[in-house]
Amino acid sequence: MIKLNSYILSDDIKDEMKNKLDKTRQDKVELGFTLCANSDNIIRSRGNPTGTSNKIEIDPRACKGDEKFLGGYHTHPKSDSYPSAEDLIHCGIHKITCTGGIDDKIRCNAWKYTQLSSEDKYKMINGYRSGYKNPKYQQTFDCISDFEPLYREEKYIKSLDDHLEELESSMAGVTVSPSIMMQRSFVKTIRDRHTSILLEGIKNKSEKYYNEVEIK
């Protein structure tokens, strides 16, 4: 068993995570489940969502009865186990975010502070949108502010990945012009440079707000 702050991750849940990671290698899509807990603070898995190659929805409504929604686990079919900015921007709304990747590892990031209740979540979101930032949610506001530019950078890199896929598809089975090869090389260089900066930014910010535990 593993402790994630005050919550307990059992060997059974770890095995479920490993099984999802094994299956995602075959299916090439994100797989996962919702993480919930009763008053005993033992983590339970709920739901069985299937996503796309780079997106999945974790549904809080999958928790049963009086279970508390904690967050979710999902796999990365095209990247390693480190969480993305999109994974960590649910600051204080998700207490625990677990991710598995092509490096054959699973990591869980646990929010260091108090998780927002459903009522507080909506008050915080409404206040954030209206420009009123209640000091009660300051840690969440600070976290979102830190992760928003990283999230935008992540979306830009995904657009570069899409462009690279288009270029590589156009190169398949035909004589490739030097200009196409140069274009591909240029886009890849820009993509790699932005990715390196992004990953360093995510690491620095995640350490500020989350405790990370390597599960596998």
Tell me, what amino acid is at 156? Y
Q: How many angstroms separate the Cα of 9 from the Cα of each of 36, 48, 58, 88?
A: 11, 18, 18, 19
Q: For the whole model, what pTM was predicted?
A: 0.89
pLDDT in tens, 83-110: 999 999 999 999 999 999 999 999 999 9
Residue 72 pLDDT > 80: yes
- pLDDT level of residue 216 (50, 70, 90 thresholds): confident
* Pair 57, 51: CB distance under 8 Å: yes
Distance CA 32, CA 19 (A): 10
Rounded CA gap, 209 and 108, in Å? Answer: 13
pLDDT above 90 for 166: no
CB-based contact 37:67 (threshold 8 Å): yes
